[in-house]
């Protein structure tokens, strides 16, 4: 049906038909593959992320995005004023499949290791030390395989609010 319709247009468009054809060919030329290639080239080898924790016991971001295999430089800043003994924050990225509540419960009694339990290191992809108001800490890690990963602050009582997802594309 479409083919018939196109022929009909050509037949009836003898006068000024050239202009019509130009418009048609421009539309067809739009390349879709080229756009994809450009996007692939634009994925940088490394990425820097900054996430804030505050005196209100909150991260400013509940979602971070990186690409698989990317070298990630993550800075955690404590934008508040309270000391780390009272309002300490860390950033702990958990392996997929780890039960966040179970990890956090174990973390509560791991004060000596900044609330990252030594016997649960296999459940952790990356983590920062614990910081207090005005402090910051930077870590580097390689983004894991594609998927969605939980991150938390493992200071006692914080994980239910201080949590988010690292999306690896």
Distance CA 70, CA 46 (A): 5
158 near Co ion (CB under 5 A): yes
In the complex, least distance from residue 155 CB atom to Co ion, rounded to whole angstroms: 4
State the binding string over 54-93 for Co ion (x if CB under 5 A, else -): -----------------------------------x----
Distance CA 14, CA 150 (A): 64
Distance CA 84, CA 133 (A): 7
In the complex, least distance from residue 102 CB atom to Co ion, rounded to whole angstroms: 18
In the complex, least distance from residue 162 CB atom to Co ion, rounded to whole angstroms: 5
Name the strand (E) or helix (H) holding 139: strand 136-142
153 near Co ion (CB under 5 A): yes
* 17-46 positions binding Co ion, by CB under 5 A: none
3-state secondary structure of 52: strand
């Amino acid at each position: 049906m479409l083919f018939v319709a196109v022929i009909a247009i050509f037949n009836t468009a003898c006068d000024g038909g050239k202009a019509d054809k130009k418009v048609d060919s421009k539309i067809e030329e739009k390349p879709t593959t080229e756009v994809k290639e450009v996007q692939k080239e634009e994925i940088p080898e490394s990425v820097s992320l900054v996430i804030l924790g505050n005196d209100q016991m909150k991260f400013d971001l509940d979602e971070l995005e990186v690409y698989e295999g990317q070298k990630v430089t993550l800075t955690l800043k404590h934008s508040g004023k309270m000391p780390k003994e009272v309002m300490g924050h860390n950033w702990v990225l958990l392996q997929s499949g780890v039960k966040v509540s179970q990890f956090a419960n174990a973390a509560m009694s791991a004060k000596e290791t900044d609330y990252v339990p030594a016997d649960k290191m296999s459940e952790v992809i990356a983590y920062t030390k614990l910081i207090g108001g005005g402090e910051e800490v930077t870590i580097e890690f390689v983004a894991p395989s594609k998927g969605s990963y939980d991150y938390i602050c493992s200071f006692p009582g914080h994980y239910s609010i201080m949590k988010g997802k690292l999306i690896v594309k």
